[in-house]
Amino acid sequence: MGRRPVVISPIAPLLRREGGEVALVSVELWPQQTIVRLAALVDEPVAEEEAFGAALDAWAKGGRREPLPSEPGDSIYRQVSITVTDDLGTAYFPKSSAVGGTGRLFRGDWYFSVGVPQTAARLTIEALDAGGQLGRMDLELEVDP
């Protein structure tokens, strides 16, 4: 059984990627899932921004029959894996993710198919990119009796 819903919001840097800082915004602890939310604030708008606007216009004018063009934020999180572990050894299986954004703010949300056990005292969030850069944050949890 999972704990009652809790949002932990450290809003702290996790790793540097594509010219910007990727921060752990929040971790949502739900009874049957865990959600990790990241945000990247880039120093300058990403190079793909202008090309994305043109591709989106072409997609709309073309009748929206093709897949939607990738947002510039996809490049920030492409080849970044997020893992969740706790002090009890619970297996957190990734269920889905959603990334995107334009301009200078890019969001990424990762959903895991298990809630954090009530007796877990520590949660660790790790972000690993394809280049081997690792960002890690330990979060202390209140243990429910």
Residue 27, beta-bridge partner list: 8, 36
Three-state secondary-structure class, residue 51: helix
Domains by residue range for the chain, with CATH: 6-140 (2.60.40)
What is the mean predicted confidence (pLDDT) over 104-115?
90
Residue 145 pLDDT grade (very low, low, confident, very high; cuts 50, 70, 90):
low
The whole-number average pLDDT for the span 20-43 is 91
- pLDDT value of residue 68: 82
pTM for the structure as a whole: 0.83
CA-angle at 107, arms to 143 and 88, nearest 5° = 25
Joined together, the tokens standing for residue 44 give 């300058």
The closest alpha carbon to 29, from 126, 137, 111, 145, belongs to: 111
The full DSSP string for 71-88 is: PTHHHHHTTEEEEEEETT
Tokens, residue 42: 């880039």
Percentage of residues in the chain having pLDDT higher than 70? 91
- Quote the pLDDT of residue 6: 92
The answer, yes or no, to whether residue 51 has pLDDT greater than 80, is: no
For residue 122, give every residue at least 6 positions away whose Cβ sits within 8 Å of its Cβ, in sequence order, or none.
86, 87, 138, 139, 140, 141
